[in-house]
Structure 1
Amino acid sequence: MSAVPSLLRDLLPRLNELSGSLRRGKLFERAVEATGLPLERPAMTVLGILHIEGKPLRVGEIATRMNVVGPHVTRQVQGLESRGLVRRVADPDDQRARLIELTPEGKTASERYVGVIEGWFAGAMSDWTAEDRQLLDRLVTRLVEDLTARLSDLD
């Protein structure tokens, strides 16, 4: 167990550096600019989640992925709907429920947004081997899942 605190002393500064690099590089701002739409981070996050998932989702599913409550997502969806970027559709598994899906305009915007972010990371990791990229994905996924589970135990 004593190795974990030592690991955290090494890992936490690296996570802070990563966060700082993303802020300094204005990655979010550049990605939003590429969409041609003046949207705030939560709205772009909704579009990004729908884009990456590749299928319509319930508001609750989006909220879970954003780690926020449903009403927060509902407000974002309403704003995106009014701009013609998403629409509500019937859930084929439950006609009473609604799913949120990208409109063609929303798909175009989200493709541009995600494309900038993917391009930035691809460039940063262009010298990495496929094995290193897969290892990073596996370990970050595991870290997020374990931290999420630990935090949900605290609730």
Structure 2
Amino acid sequence: MGGPTTGSAGPPDLGDPMLPARLRLAIGRLNRRIRVDAAAVLPPLQTSVLVTLEEHEPLRLSELARREAVTPPTMSRVLAALDDAGLLVRTPDPQDARSALVELSPEGRAMIERLRTERTALLAERLDRLAPEHREALAAAVPALEALVTLPSE
């Protein structure tokens, strides 16, 4: 009684209307499995904020909230937790004295590197347990998955 999301079903036909659902479920479940196996030290939103800062720092709270699709009060709570953990630095915004710019501290950079290393190792272990044909299929799919990420929203 497995169904298409158990991994026992064969590859979907490209015209299969269930393909997007299967792909979404597989990626979401794999992401959760890696987070659980890594015994995440930070909640997902805090981790995402650190990565966003790494890519775009320095940023104002309002810009971080926009990029993370959360409200400013939510972002304020996230930044307070990251600040308490010593993972970021706030500096006065030279263009607006009422605002602060947020960037990573050295500890924040080290945390991102640690998370990446752990999660990459966990994924490598899972890949090693796959049959060679499945590893080959995933290797061939990486460029398409990367293209999905970079497609502009409509």
TM-score (norm 1): 0.66
Aligned pair 1:11/2:20, yes or no?
yes
In structure 2, distance between residues paired with 1:113 and 1:64? 24
Aligned pair 1:78/2:67, yes or no?
no
Query: Which is worse superposed, 59-68 or 111-120?
Result: 111-120
The Cα of 1:64 is off from its aligned counterpart by: 2.1
RCO higher in structure (CA 8 A, sep ≥6): 1
In structure 1, distance between residues paired with 2:95 and 2:28? 39
Aligned pair 1:39/2:46, yes or no?
no
The Cα of 1:16 is off from its aligned counterpart by: 0.9
- Please tell me whether the aligned partners of residues 80 and 86 of structure 1 are also in contact (alpha carbons under 8 angstroms): yes
In structure 1, distance between residues paired with 2:62 and 2:81? 17
| Residues 41-88 of structure 1: CA deviation (Å, up to 9, x unaligned) | 22222222222x152222122222221111111111111112211121
Structure 2: segments with no counterpart, 5+ residues: 1-14, 128-133
For the aligned residues, what is the CA RMSD?
A: 3.0
Q: Tell me the matched-pair count.
A: 131
| 1:15 match: secondary structure | helix
Structure 1: segments with no counterpart, 5+ residues: 1-5, 150-155
More helix by share: 1
Tell me which of 21, 28, 32 is aligned to 2:35: 28
Report the CA distance shift for 1:122/1:91 in structure 2 as closer, same or farther (over 3 A): farther
In structure 2, distance between residues paired with 1:8 and 1:134? 22
1:122-137 aligned within 5 A: 127=136, 128=139, 133-137=142-146
| 1:22 counterpart letter in structure 2 | N
| 2:53 counterpart letter in structure 1 | L
Q: Which has the larger radius of gyration?
A: 2
User: Percent of counterpart pairs with the same letter?
Assistant: 28
